[in-house]
Chains A and B, each alone.
Chain A
Amino acid sequence: MDKDFAARRRRDLIIAAVLAAIAALTPLFVKDVVVQNILILTLMYAGLSQSWNILSGYCGQISLGHALYFGLGAYTTELLFTKFGVLPWFGMLAGGVVSALIAMGLGYPFFRLRGHYFVIATIVIAEIGLLLFHNWEWAGAAMGITIPIRGDSWLKFQFLRTKLPYFYFALALCCLAWFVTWWLENSKWGFWWRAVKDNPDAAESLGVDVFNSKMGAAAVSAFLVAVGGSFYAQFVSYIDPESVMGFQFSLLMALPAVLGGIGTLWGPVLGAAILIPLTELTRFKLGGSGRGVDLIVYGTLIVLISLALPRGLLSLFSRPKKTGAAR
């Protein structure tokens, strides 16, 4: 471990702590509900994208089906809550575990596929999940589930009068996902993942357990995304298949990382901080998504960034000598 790397990691941790502290104080100054809403979504997508980045960025297995885990988290939590009265906090954990198990179960066949075959398989599996939930009567089918409102309570994690608790939870989720990434970056797994991403065959020949590396990345990634899904369900207090498992979630998890810098520690946060307010504001200013301007704006952004800065916006900040490895 060279000194530079250790110093950089320490610096990253300090920057993260400062940013988190600043973020935690913003609600003192920002009272506008619309803005608070945007901040919550930004933090949530930053966390989701950070989690997506573990499997797709670090390990290089680009998934466009993470909406499945998001939806599973939401559904597990709300089914347990509405049908069995299990508190959302336990539902959240259960959703994470269910998603991680399903991710590993799918990993067995999926991780044999490479490149475009893998991407398409992930899109298809999320689509199957969507169709099944659409037709699953017990889970509300197309009607979805309305979460019964029983008043403000930390125990049931629902709040009507204020959005602040949601804000702090989203912040905590974002920090957790960031910290897990930070921690894994310097673990055996982190090194294995980057080796698998760069050249799976070479990694295998050097003794990296390629298959289990991918499985580990998938499980961690799916767990965190499912917790995000549980949070979102409580936040919007109504879920149906499209609104928690639709393809747009897969895309919205991937895009911040792509924009900021895929496979980097700070890329997803940076990307979400730009993309989500931009999307929400265009939608808000132009009244509904009916006119498609929000799509045009961020579609163009994605094309331009992919072409001009394939390492993402973050590469603008890195000094030339560090461009050797995409971190």
Chain B
Amino acid sequence: MTAQAIIQSLASGLLMGLLYGLIAVGLALIFGLMDVTNFAHGEFLMIAMYLSFFLFAFFAIDPLLSAPLVAAALFVFGAVIYLLIVRFAMRAKANAGMVQIFTTFGLAIVMRGLAQFFFTPDYRSIPQSWLGGKTISIAGIFLPEPQLVGALVSIAAFAGLYVFIHRTDFGRAIEATREDPGAVALVGIDKNRVFAFGWGLGAALVGLAGAIMASFFYIYPDVGASFALIAYVTVALGGFGSVFGAFAGGIIVGLVEATTALVLPPSLKSVGIYAVYLLVVFIRPRGLFGSI
């Protein structure tokens, strides 16, 4: 194994890791805001990928162009899901933890079923998108363009999210609500609006990730499941609720995956991720950057 090959796979691991971070950050945001884990997060990703696919199939809009549209649609979807379902799940008096887990799990199952029903279980892909299948060579290292653009979008999204949370009123309201939901009610902030916005924002971020992934990954009803598990691991690794943790967790997951693929058969590459995740949470049960 040459140094070249090692650098090559670490570079692709880094790109993929940044994308994992973008997939996971919505989950971390929602959890940080209201202590709810969205077990339908993977299905949000799936919906975004299908949306991107159909915009391409019917209107010939390239996934890269339609990404803002998909993100906007997912924003509405996330907010609606909060207002119609999650809001009520949070009111449960008995078995509160269980209710939250199984409401979102039930939602995931329904979404997967609906996707199978309407879109059939067939695998679909977007042929001849602007980026699909192209690679760029930098100093002898080949980088696939979709992943490279995905990584750049991810960095931009994280930067934007940072500015949004720290520099805008709504962002500060989110930050305040996550610190003390009781106190924000006293100063006249509508908790429900902040939560709905948080769900919208979280869904929009995973929508952005889905739109980019649509140009280089197969699209099928169960596609969310495998990425969702990686997203949970990413978030648990970084620390639930920590936006920066999701970013760092994503990079770690991407690099570990690439490294594992170098030493173990490709079918075992996820084992490396899971092993590192288990190791981290056993040493730090609340993840690397988790607080509370």
Chain A interface (Cβ < 8 Å from any Cβ of B): 62, 109, 112-117, 119-121, 123-125, 127-128, 131-132, 134-135, 247, 251, 254-255, 258, 262-263, 290-303, 306-307, 310-311, 326
Contacts and interface: CB of A to CB of B under 8 A. Distances in A.
B278 A124 contact: yes
Interface in B268-282: 268, 270-271, 274-275, 277-278, 281-282
14 contacts: A113-B281, A114-B285, A116-B236, A120-B37, A120-B232, A123-B232, A292-B113, A296-B109, A300-B110, A302-B105, A303-B103, A306-B92, A306-B103, A307-B85
Contact of B95 (A123, A247, A326): A326
Interface residues of B, number: 52
Q: Describe B's contact surface by its main secondary structure.
A: helix
B85 A292 contact: no
Interface of B: 31, 37, 85, 88-89, 92-99, 101-103, 105-117, 120-121, 221, 225, 229, 232-233, 236, 240, 265, 267-268, 270-271, 274-275, 277-278, 281-282, 285-287
B226 to A, nearest CB: 9
Contacts of A263: 95
B98, B112, B115, B268: residue with the most chain A Cβ atoms closer than 10 Å: B98
Contact of B31 (A116, A124, A247): A116
Contacts of A134: 267
Given A123-B232, A135-B267, 6 more contacts: A117-B285, A120-B37, A124-B233, A293-B113, A295-B113, A306-B89
A62 B37 CA distance: 14
Nearest to B232: A120
Nearest to A116: B37
A62 B278 contact: no
A205 to B, nearest CB: 20
Contact of B103 (A121, A307, A311): A307
A124 to B, nearest CB: 5
A300 B114 CA distance: 11
Contact of A303 (B107, B115, B236, B265): B107
Contacts of A306: 89, 92, 98-99, 102-103, 106
A255 B106 CA distance: 10
B55 to A, nearest CB: 23
Contacts of B270: 127, 131
A136 to B, nearest CB: 11
B88 to A, nearest CB: 5
A293 B113 CA distance: 6
Contacts of B281: 113, 117, 121
Nearest to A302: B106
A249 B224 CA distance: 18
B236 A120 contact: yes
A129 to B, nearest CB: 10
Given A62-B101, A262-B98, A310 B92 contact: yes
Interface centre among A258, A296, A310 (most CB of B within 10 A): A310
B266 to A, nearest CB: 10
Nearest to A289: B116
B121 A290 contact: yes
Contacts of B278: 109, 121, 124-125
A299 B113 contact: yes
B112 A295 contact: yes
A161 B285 CA distance: 52
